[in-house]
A and B are shown apart, each in its own frame.
Chain A
Amino acid sequence: MTVNMTKGQAISLQKSDGGTLTAVRMGLGWQAAPRRGLFGSRTREIDLDASAVLFADKQPVDVVFFRHLVSDDGSVKHTGDNLVGGAGSGGDDEAILVDLQRVPVHIDQIVFTVNSFTGQTFQEVQNAFCRIVDETNGQELARYTLDGGGQYTAQIMAKVHRAGGGWQMTALGNPANGRTFQDLMPAILPHL
């Protein structure tokens, strides 16, 4: 059951069998827009970055992004920076894995964001998508199509948060502007 989301849509998700999530992955894939003109080989490279910010009581505690690939506690892992995007054929170019069972007890929310580090807006990116996958069974929980997405350079994707004894995910899909996650902090805070 994939929810194809429109911007700004917020849905609470639980596993379809009623259990709670134990591991999720945020995947990001894109392809650079071809440049028309004489020097066709000089396609402009587009670098999108996926980040995850860990919050405790609305205070940022740790962040996982391309310069800090593993959270100090080891529960959130970034698979590594991809500077140019991939074939855009459906695979994830960057991914962030969250082992929800190992997240420290004081962390109650994790927010996923996407930024365009090279500054292109999502209009210029081809085949860009961003998805949240239940890592235990590979099921896609939510998917956004980013391209043609207007004059934005960032998107606040989704958050997973503690609910009762387990975790839930809320898709946010809130467009924003910024180069790295730091620029997005003001835009993230209202969603906590």
Chain B
Amino acid sequence: MTAELVRGQNHTLPQTRLEIRVSAGSPVVAGATLGDERGTVRGAEWIAHPASHRVPGLEVSRQAAADHRLAVDLDALPGSVHRVTVLLALPLGPGQPARFGAVAAPFVAVTGLDGTEIATFTLTGLDTESAVSALELYRRQGVWKVRAVGQGYAAGLAGMLADQGVAEAAEVAASIQEAVASGLARSVTPPPRTPDGERVRHPAGPPASGDGGPAAPAPPDPAPAPPDPAPARTETSGGPVNYAHPRRQTSAPPPPPPAAPPAAPGQPAQPVAGDATGWSMDERLYNQIWGMFEDLARAVAAYRSAVDFAESRMDQELDRALSDPRSRIGGAGDRAREEARAKHDELTGRAREALERDLAQLAAESAVVEPALPAAYAGWGNPVWHGYRVPMEIPMALRIGDLHLPEGIGLRIPLLVRLPLERGIWVDSGRTASEEAAATPGDRLRTLAMETAVALAARLLAVYPADEFSVHVIDPAGSAAGPLAPLVDAGVLAGPPAAGAEGVSSVLAHLTRRVDLVQMAIRAGASDALPPDLDTAEQLLIVNDFPHGFDDRAVTQLRYLADEGPSVGVHLLMVADREDTRAYGPVLDPLWRSLLRITPVADDHLADPWVGHAWTYEPLRAPQGSRVLEQVLALVAAARRAGYR
């Protein structure tokens, strides 16, 4: 059973051959020091660090990384060693975070050689520290134990080593950072992180600012510290123990949303992007967009119901005037009719006024929100895509199109779907009832549908971190080579588009096996027992020309993927015309219903969850002549190649 340690807690180790796994949100340096019975490090040869990564009984990795595995054999340590301290430090360098407060809380786990966790510890509550001693393995009456330490040092590695009695602490710290810097230069440059406060949902405090070196004393934090049971830990050792449970710690409140400037009296407040609740800007914008969606739905509902009422009242009054025998002679009937019409016009006029007031407010909000959107929420025309960089974590949601209503034609609401996808997507290549579909030839419609699917797949690839999203394509007749070219040329597909019945069955078999294995592992609670060749990334399968090239077995497998895939990260993107599958009868209806249907041209088929208006969906298209899709895919491909080093 895994012991979840809190700061200061210890746990007896059942064995002496161990692995210590470290995972942090960003690259960190991992090292270890050996101490004698008084805890003193007797010399530089008792420190395992990237420049000298092996000491007897202990080995650390040679460069900074977000994940480490340290091998420890406690029996092989020199006999005079009574204590092993596992250290983490932030690497120096441009674009590197300067303090642990700016990155996700590191997590360390002591495991057996088979990977079973013995004890785990999350290092929460760090702020200006750039080095931290994470764990301590110590010998007590012949038994080795582990203690969660989590002692941070704002003075960095040098300060931490000096605290452990290393004589040349500054020199050793410098040589470690130098080794790390050359290691970083060998590997791919990580995307600069300092300006990306928004990308990391760090649990506490405002994003990092400044680049204070770890050797320099940390500048006093001007922001009031969040209430914390433990006072801030600095250079001194043996700080007070924080008894808060690391997983249940309440994080600091998020930075307040941008405040709207006070409105002029009698005027509605000026809209501000991010003016909604949420823990991060992404979440606030997401909630704001849903708020706009709901407000537009309701404003239009109010208008429509007022107009309907005005019309039905006018009809009744006209009927009454017509059926009243007195009104047949003289001008009374005409007057009654005129009155009824005037009442109708007056009411619809007022309804229109109210609607226009609401639309103007929403349009003003949309005008400030759209430019503020992150890439995942933005259309292809948004300049944010030109500054695109491969993200470090998946966003909350992805924009897959625009929605509008006939009453507010200029007002487009982004259609956001949550990530990871909860259901597959079906791009309907068939002829729908919309005018635009009727005006488009069938072949063109199919090409457009495939282009829509490719653009969608490209967006998904772009908003996932490198190597966390794989795209497979089934194109049995090879008819979509043109639209698929951007994906194929950039080399971002997991394999070439599968053609022919054989290709179909091999891709389906591969994904079916993956769903099956992951499900088994989850049920058995043995996620580490998955075969090493299994791709743990989310998988997207684009199916073109369904059911061409599909036999009954393949159709069954596809339905299995549609049903079981989303929960284990396998998603469908079908490009199909339902008419083509008529031969299957109603057995495929559940498949279609389980997918979110979108169209390659504007079509009003999506209902909102509040009032049920029919919204016109339009897919996102890159602006005419823009190469943004290709440029983004090239960056994705480059990040992937670097990832496979």
Interface of A with B (CB < 8 Å)? 56-57, 59, 61-62, 70, 72-75, 102-106
Q: Are B351 and A105 in contact (CB under 8 A)?
A: yes
The 8 closest A-B pairs by CB, nearest first: A74-B298, A73-B302, A104-B302, A72-B301, A106-B306, A105-B350, A106-B309, A104-B306
Q: Contacts A73-B298, A74-B294, A105-B350 known; A62 to B305 CB distance under 8 Å?
A: yes
Closest beta carbon of chain A to B585's beta carbon, Å: 37
**A57–B350 alpha-carbon span in the complex (Å):** 16
Question: Which chain B residues border A73 with CB–CB below 8 Å?
Answer: 298-299, 301-302, 305
Closest beta carbon of chain B to A48's beta carbon, Å: 26
Q: Which of B305, B309, B347 has the most CB of A within 10 A?
A: B305
Q: Are A57 and B302 in contact (CB under 8 A)?
A: no
Interface of B is mostly: helix
Looking across the interface, which residue of chain A has its beta carbon closest to that of B305?
A104
Contacts of B239-296 to chain A: CB distance below 8 A: 294-295
Q: Are A72 and B309 in contact (CB under 8 A)?
A: no
Q: Mark B115-133, 1 if CB is under 8 A from A, else 0.
A: 0000000000000000000
Q: Contacts A72-B298, A73-B301, A74-B298 known; A105 to B306 CB distance under 8 Å?
A: yes
**A68–B120 alpha-carbon span in the complex (Å):** 48
Q: Contacts A57-B313, A106-B351 known; A70 to B306 CB distance under 8 Å?
A: no
Contact of A61 among B294, B299, B305, B610 (CB under 8 A): B305
**A80–B309 alpha-carbon span in the complex (Å):** 28
Q: Contacts A102-B302, A104-B306, A105-B306 known; A72 to B611 CB distance under 8 Å?
A: yes
Q: Are B354 and A105 in contact (CB under 8 A)?
A: yes
Instruction: Provide 23 A-B residue pairs closer than 8 Å at the C-beta atoms, listed in order of the A residue.
Output: A61-B305, A72-B301, A72-B302, A72-B611, A73-B298, A73-B301, A73-B302, A73-B305, A74-B294, A74-B299, A74-B302, A75-B302, A103-B302, A104-B306, A104-B351, A105-B302, A105-B306, A105-B347, A105-B351, A106-B305, A106-B306, A106-B309, A106-B310
Closest beta carbon of chain B to A140's beta carbon, Å: 27
Question: Which chain B residues border A70 with CB–CB below 8 Å?
Answer: 610
Contacts of B167-212 to chain A: CB distance below 8 A: none
Contacts of B345-368 to chain A: CB distance below 8 A: 347, 350-351, 354
Question: Which chain A residues border B310 with CB–CB below 8 Å?
Answer: 106
Question: Which chain B residues border A62 with CB–CB below 8 Å?
Answer: 305
Interface of B with A (CB < 8 Å)? 294-295, 298-299, 301-303, 305-306, 309-310, 313, 347, 350-351, 354, 610-611
Q: Which of A57, A59, A74, A106 has the most CB of B within 10 A?
A: A106
**A70–B294 alpha-carbon span in the complex (Å):** 11
Question: Which chain A residues border B301 with CB–CB below 8 Å?
Answer: 72-74
Question: Which chain B residues border A61 with CB–CB below 8 Å?
Answer: 305, 309
Interface of A is mostly: loop
Question: Which chain A residues border B351 with CB–CB below 8 Å?
Answer: 104-106
Looking across the interface, which residue of chain B has its beta carbon closest to that of A59?
B309
Summed over the interface, the residue pairs from A and B with CB atoms below 8 Å come to a total of 48
Looking across the interface, which residue of chain A has its beta carbon closest to that of B611?
A72
Looking across the interface, which residue of chain B has its beta carbon closest to that of A103?
B302
Closest beta carbon of chain A to B196's beta carbon, Å: 37
**A154–B276 alpha-carbon span in the complex (Å):** 39
Known: A72-B305, A74-B294. 6 other contacts (CB 8 A): A72-B301, A72-B302, A74-B295, A74-B302, A103-B302, A104-B305
**A62–B306 alpha-carbon span in the complex (Å):** 12
Closest beta carbon of chain A to B352's beta carbon, Å: 9
Question: Which chain A residues border B313 with CB–CB below 8 Å?
Answer: 57
Question: Which chain B residues border A105 with CB–CB below 8 Å?
Answer: 302, 306, 347, 350-351, 354
Question: Which chain A residues border B309 with CB–CB below 8 Å?
Answer: 56-57, 59, 61, 106
Question: Which chain A residues border B347 with CB–CB below 8 Å?
Answer: 105-106
**A105–B351 alpha-carbon span in the complex (Å):** 6
Q: Are A104 and B295 in contact (CB under 8 A)?
A: no
Question: Which chain A residues border B299 with CB–CB below 8 Å?
Answer: 73-74
Closest beta carbon of chain A to B324's beta carbon, Å: 19
**A63–B363 alpha-carbon span in the complex (Å):** 29
**A102–B355 alpha-carbon span in the complex (Å):** 10
Question: Which chain A residues border B298 with CB–CB below 8 Å?
Answer: 72-75
**A16–B295 alpha-carbon span in the complex (Å):** 32
**A62–B309 alpha-carbon span in the complex (Å):** 12
Looking across the interface, which residue of chain A has its beta carbon closest to that of B313?
A57
Q: Which of B295, B301, B302, B306 has the most CB of A within 10 A?
A: B302
Question: Which chain A residues border B354 with CB–CB below 8 Å?
Answer: 104-105
**A172–B302 alpha-carbon span in the complex (Å):** 27
Question: Which chain A residues border B294 with CB–CB below 8 Å?
Answer: 74
**A9–B305 alpha-carbon span in the complex (Å):** 33
Closest beta carbon of chain A to B339's beta carbon, Å: 14
**A59–B301 alpha-carbon span in the complex (Å):** 18
**A105–B357 alpha-carbon span in the complex (Å):** 13
Looking across the interface, which residue of chain A has its beta carbon closest to that of B354?
A105
**A140–B486 alpha-carbon span in the complex (Å):** 65
**A3–B354 alpha-carbon span in the complex (Å):** 34
**A73–B310 alpha-carbon span in the complex (Å):** 16
Closest beta carbon of chain A to B320's beta carbon, Å: 14
**A160–B310 alpha-carbon span in the complex (Å):** 21
Question: Which chain A residues border B302 with CB–CB below 8 Å?
Answer: 72-75, 102-105
Looking across the interface, which residue of chain B has its beta carbon closest to that of A54?
B305
**A75–B354 alpha-carbon span in the complex (Å):** 13
Question: Which chain A residues border B350 with CB–CB below 8 Å?
Answer: 105
Closest beta carbon of chain A to B408's beta carbon, Å: 15
Question: Which chain A residues border B306 with CB–CB below 8 Å?
Answer: 104-106
**A103–B358 alpha-carbon span in the complex (Å):** 12
**A56–B308 alpha-carbon span in the complex (Å):** 11
**A41–B133 alpha-carbon span in the complex (Å):** 55
Q: Which of B294, B298, B299, B347 has the most CB of A within 10 A?
A: B298
Closest beta carbon of chain A to B362's beta carbon, Å: 13
**A102–B610 alpha-carbon span in the complex (Å):** 16
**A70–B309 alpha-carbon span in the complex (Å):** 19
Question: Which chain A residues border B295 with CB–CB below 8 Å?
Answer: 74
Looking across the interface, which residue of chain B has its beta carbon closest to that of A72?
B301
**A103–B303 alpha-carbon span in the complex (Å):** 10
**A56–B347 alpha-carbon span in the complex (Å):** 12
Question: Which chain B residues border A57 with CB–CB below 8 Å?
Answer: 309, 313
**A68–B526 alpha-carbon span in the complex (Å):** 45
Closest beta carbon of chain B to A83's beta carbon, Å: 24
Closest beta carbon of chain A to B260's beta carbon, Å: 18
Question: Which chain B residues border A106 with CB–CB below 8 Å?
Answer: 305-306, 309-310, 347, 351
Question: Which chain A residues border B611 with CB–CB below 8 Å?
Answer: 72
Closest beta carbon of chain A to B301's beta carbon, Å: 4
Looking across the interface, which residue of chain B has its beta carbon closest to that of A75?
B302
